[in-house]
Amino acid sequence: MPQRLTSLLALGSLVTASSLLGGTPTPAGAAPDIPATIRLDAPETPNLAGSGQLAVTVFSSDEVDATGLDPGTVRLGQDAGANLGHGVGVARWVGGAVITGVTDVDSDGRDDLRLYFDKEALRAGGHLDATTTELSISGRLRDGRPVGGSDAVAPQVVLEVKFQEAAVVRGADGNLRSDRGQDLTGVRAVLDRHGAVQLAPLLPERTSAQLSRLTAMAASRSGRPAPDMASWYHLTLPAGADPAAALKDLHALPEVAWAYPAPEPAPPPAAPATPDFTSMQGYQRPAPQGVDADFARQDPRARGAGIRIVDLEYDWNPFHEDLQLDWSSDLGGTQYPRNTSFADEHGTAVFGELVAEENGYGVTGGVPDASMFGISPMQRLSSGQASYRPAAAMTHVAQFLSPGDALLIEQQTVGPNGGTRYVPAEWTQSVFDATRLLTQLGVVVVATGGNGGENLDGPEFQGRFNRSVRDSGAIVVGAGSSTNRSRLNFSVYGSRVDVQGWGQNITTTGSNGNLQGGTGAANLNIRYTRSFGGTSGAGPIVTGAVVAIQSYLKATGRPVWTAGQLGNLLKSTGTPQGGDVSQRIGPLPNLRAALQSVGSAAPATAGTR
């Protein structure tokens, strides 16, 4: 799984194309599915008054990863655990996305899944009333396995009541009194009529002890009377009480200023739910349109698990709603500070192409289960200044990477023709050396080709992009058309360019926000683009293909491959370049064909761990 900021609310569904809302039917004559038992935590005393959601936590265990539960299949009810598909579904935002959250509730180091269910729907379905003693959940994991579990509950009715401030009501339960001497006989009669279980002040005793001073201070500063918070109470009634009747009687009392169902915890305030943009990610569709990452993701072994990706990037936003990372994703720390002058949106877009969560909203990365990191090419010097030193940063991350991991160079440099005739960063010899070092360590380096439109076979390059003269071992990526795989005019080309990725029309997180969010700072975490591109956009597409294959090899107990072997595989199984093939940018990877070619045995020359 990718690193995640586990307290971040995930406003979306984990629904996959194969999900069935009612569960998978059992074929005739076959034994029924036996659900795996999951531990859950429902509210101990759900409030039968009012609307809103019940928050239920599903805990992860050694047997079940709760975050792999498909919310679209989940049902909650009195007997949902024994009846797959029976009960009430997960509540949804106005935009249609299910309301879920991911957090390590029990602090055991495993992410748990928090689901929200509409109380009115539960009541209407007969699943939540005075007789309810247990709530059960049923559902399916993304791999189709059924799960179920239950938790005991004891419903009650809880109201929030404010007495008229002039009455100065204090005390609790049978000791309720008015410090202004008002008769509370009518209040006690209503409480007795509805079988009050408890009437307690809203504020704890410690706060109440300081309240007079705080109230006086507030009044003095504002010049207006301050609200008397000591007049607020919580009234608990038995589960069989009629909330509407109790509220009617309370409202009729002259001593009562306010009465209504007590408020309950709700999902954190958030931007409107993000739609599902995955249909716009054409670069992940089957060949010849895309690289068929859709196919690879269906196999848990080819989703990137066990592989680290490092992006050599100026800056990125780990808190984007579709990434769910944190700053532990930065391997550079203070030694390689992020360069914010280029903004974070380039890196955020790259991260999204690779590891955006598969959650039913926004986009989905090619290898969402990979571990994603970044490092800035800026090195802090002893003087305190930061200097552009990509080779140093690349060398620094070598200590964090193992054979089979990937480094993506999202950098370009000025070539021999100057100006904006940008070429691969390894034109700079120190970068070439660092690349070679990493390659020799078994790390697969994927290098964006650059947007300078240069012919790398030109005489001015002095053979430095001729493998027989100088070979860093990196997989160099060019930018192709999203429609016919022809070279886009800004992309470098030549014999050194191995494969291509889409260089236009890429839908992903961040960037210019022209799909959702715009450029406003308030929308930073919900920003999406439909027009990321360049060789910067092509590089992550190819990196995703590399990581999918490496994770598959690892999962099947075979040695990971070298960059040279992977480059040859992607070229031999890819969809051929279109347009003028003399301006070589190579084929577009085809993951379905590549994984099928890998088959059950690796080549005899496969790299070792």
CA-angle at 81, arms to 79 and 87, nearest 5°: 55
Query: Is 3 among the domain residues?
Result: no
pLDDT of 344: 87
Question: E strands of 411-502, at which residues?
Answer: 412-414, 422-424, 444-448, 475-480, 499-502
Q: Are residues 415 and 307 in the same domain?
A: yes
Question: What is the per-residue pLDDT across 145-157, written as a single tens digit (0 to 9) for each?
Answer: 899 999 999 999 9
CATH at 110: 2.60.40
Nearest by Cα to 483 from 575, 356, 355, 364 = 575
Q: Are residues 446 and 340 in the same domain?
A: yes
pLDDT of 193: 96
Q: Which has the minimum average pLDDT: 17-31, 215-229, 285-299?
A: 17-31
* Domain of 479, in residue numbers: 278-598
Q: Which amino acid is at 96?
A: G
Q: Are residues 180 and 120 in the same domain?
A: no
Q: Are residues 253 and 311 in the same domain?
A: no
Q: How many domains does the chain have?
A: 3
Query: Is 420 among the domain residues?
Result: yes
pLDDT of 6: 29
Q: Are residues 455 and 353 in the same domain?
A: yes
Decide which of 89, 117, 152 is a domain's last residue. Answer: 152
pLDDT of 93: 64
Q: Are residues 57 and 70 in the same domain?
A: yes
| Whether 545 contacts 594, CB under 8 Å | yes
Does the structure show a pLDDT above 90 at 445?
Answer: yes
Does the structure show a pLDDT above 80 at 12?
Answer: no
Q: Are residues 330 and 475 in the same domain?
A: yes
Decide which of 261, 291, 306 is a domain's last residue. Answer: 261
Q: Are residues 148 and 171 in the same domain?
A: no
Q: Are residues 163 and 139 in the same domain?
A: no
Query: Is 269 among the domain residues?
Result: no
Q: Are residues 337 and 389 in the same domain?
A: yes
Q: Are residues 317 and 451 in the same domain?
A: yes
- Cβ neighbors of 237 (< 8 A, separation 6 or more) are 156, 157, 158, 159, 194, 195, 196, 197, 243, 246
Query: Is 557 among the domain residues?
Result: yes
Query: Is 270 among the domain residues?
Result: no
Name the band, by pLDDT with cuts 50, 70 and 90, for residue 107: confident
Q: Are residues 138 and 184 in the same domain?
A: no
**For residues 14 and 300, what is the distance between their CA atoms, to the nearest angstrom?**
15
